[in-house]
Amino acid sequence: MNKNRVVVTGLGVVSSIGIGKDAFWDNLIKGVSGISKVDLFDTGDQFNHFGGQVRNFDAEKYVNKKKIRFIGKSSQFAIAAAKLAVHDAQIKMKEHDSERVAVYMGTTGGESQSIEEIDTIWLKKGREDVKVESVLQYPVNNISANVATELKCRGKNRMFTNACAAGNYAIGYGFDSIMMGKADMVIAGGVDVFSYIIFTGFNQLGAVAPERCQPFDKNRKGMIPGEGAGILVLESLENALKRKAHIYAEILGYGLSCDASHMTQPNIEGVTACMQNALKEPSTESENVDYISAHGTGTKFNDKVESGAINKVFGGHKVAVSSIKSMLGHTMGAASAIEAISCCLTVQNDVIPPNINYETPDPECDINCVANYARKQRVNIALNNAFAFGGNNSCLVIKKYN
């Protein structure tokens, strides 16, 4: 079977440091922090009051005003990022076979704000006062379905709920679909939004930092919750060349693993296997990797395990590493999708985004950290790491298109 080469031709982002690819990238390489005091709800009873909140998002720019009340906020973010990606790719959907355009999305909390609204009204007022619109919004499959409806994509449609690795899972599945000729084009990525439920959940785990995220720093205090969406347009190389599309990067493959160990703590063997599996499929030697976009949550145990796994896989090759969660916070199901976009722009521009808030090196995180300032360096191959609760690990291999 002939295998299609898979390329990225469109990027769409909704994030706390910018909406749209250009604003996002400009602030990313400047090391701008999107962390601020959360004002979507009262955080007075929480351990932490800061997060990567998306501001100045106007849903009516992307979704028909009459439909908004039937579409949850996660879907609104996803639709916005998808439309930005399709516009960036200069695609006119009516010119393509809609049954050959698939939509694959990842999430952790789904439409968590809708669930929260249902619970709150039911408890305070009673079941009869729950809005029909809220009930229609909350099923998790609505996110990919709403994106497909807005874009008129009639191909395969699927949600991935592998928590904080879900974006990479969706992109990897899209890679397979195009490589094997099952789709001509895939709209793939991830999304998650703030809700009181999600915010409280992460606070109760006791792994949240007071005000800032410091991945790999010796004095790191934990993660910072975030929200956003990241969408990539994937195509076969043949299709992209035929329509003279701009190509950001090529996807070589991906690796998956399951720790089968602990619900919240990553396992070094599982994380190591994930990166090794990613390199094995496209037969990429570890010394040819120039950059790792780390999972890098800023928690003591996670960063230590990821650093150890990187050193096991790469040995004496001190590959450059940074975590953009230092700027965005942890956007959960959107995280690896937004980070995949960052990798595509990194290999295109040969600029590595910084790991901000890095002050004191940690001997237990003995890596080549791109500390505080962006680094100009040729990047031919980048790895995008994502490790989720339950030990669901994913790693994407992204290459400069030549």
DSSP per position, 221-253: --B-BB-EEEEEEEEEHHHHHHTT----EEEEE
Beta-carbon contacts of residue 186 (< 8 Å; ≥ 6 apart)? 101, 102, 103, 104, 174, 177, 178, 233, 234, 235
Q: Which of these is catalytic: 96, 153, 213, 295?
A: 295
Q: Which residue has the tokens 């950290």?
A: 369
Active site residue 164: yes
16 φψ region: left (φ > 0), alpha (ψ -120 to 50), beta (else): alpha
CA pair distance 349, 282, nearest whole angstrom: 23
Q: Which of these is catalytic: 96, 274, 330, 344?
A: 330
CA angle 356/24/187 to nearest 5° reads 120
Active site residue 96: no
Amino acid identity for residue 383 in this structure: L
Cβ atoms of 322 and 216 within 8 Å: the answer is no
- Cα atoms in the Cβ-side hemisphere of radius 13 Å centred on 148: 22
Beta-carbon contacts of residue 69 (< 8 Å; ≥ 6 apart)? 133
Q: At what angle do helices 112-124 and 196-204 cross, to 10 degrees?
A: 100
Active site residue 262: no
- Cα atoms in the Cβ-side hemisphere of radius 13 Å centred on 378: 3
CA pair distance 379, 147, nearest whole angstrom: 32
Token readout for 235 is 């195509």
Length of the chain: 402
Distance of CA 2 to CAs 180, 236, 309, 355, 400, Å?
8, 12, 34, 40, 22
Q: Which of these is catalytic: 164, 213, 344, 365?
A: 164
Q: What's 354's DSSP letter? A: P
Helix (H, G, I), strand (E, B), or coil: what is residue 308?
helix
CA pair distance 214, 237, nearest whole angstrom: 38
Centroid of chain to Cα 29: 17
Amino acid identity for residue 49 in this structure: H
Return the closest-CA partner of residue 305 out of 335, 271, 333, 330.
271
Active site residues: 164, 295, 330
